[in-house]
């Protein structure tokens, strides 16, 4: 499942490896930070489940405008094809391992039904996550967007520190901006606001400590102050 605004089922999809008993065991793919797994338009030969690391899925407009569609965390399935070609670029943000699956497993129901069912459910979860993301892109303010983003990441991959919570951000500010439909400047300013209001501390550029999770959640839903 992808990073999106909080829903009650955010945490219910723990990392569930797809590998069924009948799946042909393919060796894992390894990507170093900055390496591309595929580009938009490439023919889809494989689907991948992220085993470890984080990838970024992006689309480009001809004039260079960019939209980050999703960040792929362990457990996420990436590379779902609609027409037979990839419709995003995929780049690794960290050292990443992925389990490949042949695209053909989508074609025939003849193959492993368990795997097939798992894929369908992965697709359905992705649709649900994307619907949340719509609301964020279309209807939320910069503050709400960033607060939502941090809330989801905290729930998904945050580290409990007792009262507070630590979140690692492997992506750049401009990745965050392009995910939320903002500019890097606005993302930066919004981080500063959150820091000034003591909701978060920015430990370093890739680590944020959430001191007041409930306040952040309130902000993500538009409750001011």
133 binds, among DNA, its own copies, none (CB under 5 to 8 A by kind): its own copies
Q: Which does 35 bind (CB under 5 to 8 A by kind): DNA, its own copies, none?
A: none
Cβ closest to DNA, residue 75 vs residue 181: 181
Kindly indicate which of the ranges 73-81, 113-121, 178-186, 214-222 contains the residues binding DNA, using the contact rule CB under 7 A: 178-186
- C-alpha distance from residue 173 to each of 122, 190, 223 (Å): 28, 11, 24
> Token digits for 215?
């306040």
Min dist. Cβ of residue 186 to DNA (A) = 3
Residue 85, SS3 per DSSP: strand
83 binds DNA (CB under 7 A): no
Contact set with its own copies (CB under 8 A): 9, 12, 59, 61-63, 65-67, 69, 80-83, 87-88, 106-107, 109-110, 113-114, 116-117, 119-121, 123-131, 133-135, 137-139, 178, 180-181, 221-222
Strands 89-92 and 159-161, how do they pair?
Answer: unpaired
The partner in contact with residue 126, picked from DNA, its own copies, none with C-beta cut-offs of 5 to 8 angstroms by kind, is: its own copies
52 binds DNA (CB under 7 A): no
Q: Applying CB under 7 A, which of residues 18, 187, 215, 219 lies at the interface with DNA?
A: 187
**Segment 204-223, which members bind DNA (CB under 7 A)?**
204-205
**Which CB sits closer to DNA, 128 or 184?**
184
Q: Which is nearer to its own copies, 106 or 165 (CB)?
A: 106
| 203 phi/psi in degrees, rounded to 5 | -65, -50
Of the listed pieces 95-103, 149-157, 174-182, 213-221, which binds DNA according to CB under 7 A? Answer: 174-182
d(CA 191, CA 201): 9
222 binds, among its own copies, DNA, none (CB under 5 to 8 A by kind): its own copies
Give the SS3 label for residue 201: strand
Q: Where are the beta strands (DSSP E) in the chain?
A: 29-31, 36-38, 46-52, 55-60, 66-72, 77-78, 89-92, 96-102, 159-161, 164-168, 200-204, 207-210
- Count of other CB atoms within 10 angstroms of residue 181: 16
Q: Which of 44, 130, 202, 218 binds DNA (CB under 7 A)?
A: 202
Q: How far is Cα 48 from Cα 34, in angstroms, rounded to an integer? A: 17
8 A C-beta contact, residue 135 and residue 210:
no
State the Cα–Cα distance between residues 67 and 104, nearest whole angstrom.
29
Task: Return residues touching DNA (CB under 7 A).
Answer: 141-143, 172-174, 181-189, 191-192, 202, 204-205
């Amino acid at each position: 499942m992808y990073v999106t605004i909080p829903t009650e089922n955010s945490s219910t999809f723990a990392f569930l490896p797809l590998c069924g008993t009948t799946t042909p065991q393919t060796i894992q793919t390894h990507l170093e930070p900055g390496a591309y797994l595929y580009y938009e338009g490439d023919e889809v030969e494989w689907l991948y489940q992220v085993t470890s690391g984080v990838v970024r899925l992006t689309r480009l407009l001809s004039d260079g405008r960019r939209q980050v569609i999703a960040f792929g965390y362990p457990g996420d399935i990436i590379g779902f094809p609609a027409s037979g070609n990839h419709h995003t670029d995929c780049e690794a943000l960290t050292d990443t391992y992925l389990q490949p699956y042949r695209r053909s497993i989508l074609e025939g129901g003849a193959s492993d039904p368990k795997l097939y069912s798992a894929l369908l459910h992965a697709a359905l979860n992705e649709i649900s996550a994307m619907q949340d993301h719509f609301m964020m892109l279309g209807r939320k303010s910069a503050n709400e967007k960033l607060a939502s983003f941090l809330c989801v990441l905290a729930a998904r991959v945050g580290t409990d520190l007792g009262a507070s919570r630590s979140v690692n951000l492997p992506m750049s500010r401009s990745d965050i901006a392009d995910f939320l439909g903002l500019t890097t400047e606005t993302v930066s300013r919004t981080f500063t606001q959150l820091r000034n209001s003591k909701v978060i501390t920015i430990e370093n550029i890739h680590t944020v400590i959430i001191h007041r999770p409930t306040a952040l959640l309130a902000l993500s839903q538009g409750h001011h102050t």
